[in-house]
Amino acid sequence: MVSWQAKAFIASLRMSGQKRFYDDANTLHRTVHRHQRASKAKPPREIRRRCSIEVRDVDGFPCYTLRPKNGPADGPHVLHLHGGGFVKQIEKHHWRFGAELVRRLGCTVTLPIYPLVPRYSHTTILPVVEAAYARVVDATPPERQVVSGDSAGASLALALVQKLRDEGKPQPERLVLISPWLDVLLDDPLSVLLDDYDPMLGITGLREAGRMYAEGADPHDPHISPLYADLTGLGPFSLFIGARDVLLPDARRFAQRATDAGIDIDYRERRGMFHNWVMHDIPEGRTELNHLERILRRPPAAR
């Protein structure tokens, strides 16, 4: 059953017209500046009240680290890469997700404010993400590291762990993928069919954002579309996806490929749920956060 709170949230998404941003490439280009205002890149006041915050400069871009307001951070260090189709700045639900992990786990959460398209492409965005990891998270033992990402941020997270593997470096203890965008072309025909049922994302605008992110490179490059990555040596993963999300077909394919590769994957598909429902204050979102908390509280060897 889908809760009344989730049904109300879906209705509010449809009434707000949020989907229009991703429904049409012209609309995306015309309005993208509204989603990239500098003011959006700063922690909201409520987050400043809840957490101790440190900011560092990483190649000219701010990188925020949240810790418990009172007392030491004794949980894992979570690097979370926010979503937004590579075109939207970090949003309130990303900050709240980070602060909620800090509250529940007593952990450290780092949120890089990476560059965005159309001004930048993967050739700039990926190095900034890699630099944020190297300068802020790498000092933490791998068994205490968690790399997390939602939507486009999950793609960046997968590109990062591929690079770590290719350089012979240890993998983080867990990779958390929330509504991951795994193929910038959204080639699966089922994604097109789901477009009418998705209250948040649209195929046309996402493909345009993906085209700008790839900027002339092969969109099937596994660092751009991690659906096509060699998964050897990666993982373990936790993956959350909703059945109303246009990204669902690729999440299913990715999970099957991970299973076939012998990787431990904790796959959570939720009927009736929309993009990034895990990060919103609805019963279904709280259920998945409870699950994620249990996973991250286990001793590393038992997760």
Residues 6+ apart with CB under 8 A from 74: 106, 107
In this structure, are residues 64 and 43 in contact, taking their beta carbons and an 8 Å threshold? Answer: yes
Give me the pLDDT at residue 131, please: 98
Average pLDDT of the residues in 103-120: 97
Q: How far apart are CA 107 and CA 137, in angstroms?
A: 13
Produce one character per residue of 86-117: b if its CB has 16 or more CB atoms within 10 Å, e if not.
bbbbbbebbbbbbbbbbeebebbbbbbbbbbb
172-228: pLDDT as tens digits: 999 999 999 999 999 999 999 999 999 999 999 999 999 999 999 999 999 999 999
Question: Per DSSP, which regions of the chain are E strands?
Answer: 51-58, 61-68, 77-81, 108-112, 145-150, 174-178, 237-242, 265-270
Q: What domains, with CATH codes, occur in the chain?
A: 4-298 (3.40.50.1820)
**How confident is the prediction for the chain on average, in pLDDT?**
95
Give me the pLDDT at residue 301, please: 56
Check pLDDT > 70 for residue 101: yes
Q: Which residues pair with 57 in a beta bridge?
A: 62
Which of left, alpha, beta for 86 (phi over 0: left; psi -120 to 50: alpha)?
A: left
12-27: pLDDT as tens digits: 999 988 899 999 999 9
Enter the DSSP assignment of 301. Answer: G
Respond yes or no on whether the N-terminal peptide bond of residue 118 is cis (omega within 30° of 0).
yes
Check pLDDT > 70 for residue 106: yes
Average pLDDT of the residues in 88-116: 97
Tell me the C-alpha to C-alpha distance, in Å, between residue 267 and each of 110, 248, 263, 292: 24, 12, 11, 11
Check pLDDT > 70 for residue 148: yes
Which of 183, 287, 303 has the alpha carbon at shortest distance from 242?
287
**Kind plus residue range of the DSSP H or E element containing 290:** helix 283-297
pLDDT band at 246 (very low <50, low <70, confident <90, very high): very high
Residues 6+ apart with CB under 8 A from 164: 170, 171, 172
Give me the pLDDT at residue 75, please: 87
Q: How far apart are CA 249 and CA 267, in angstroms?
A: 13
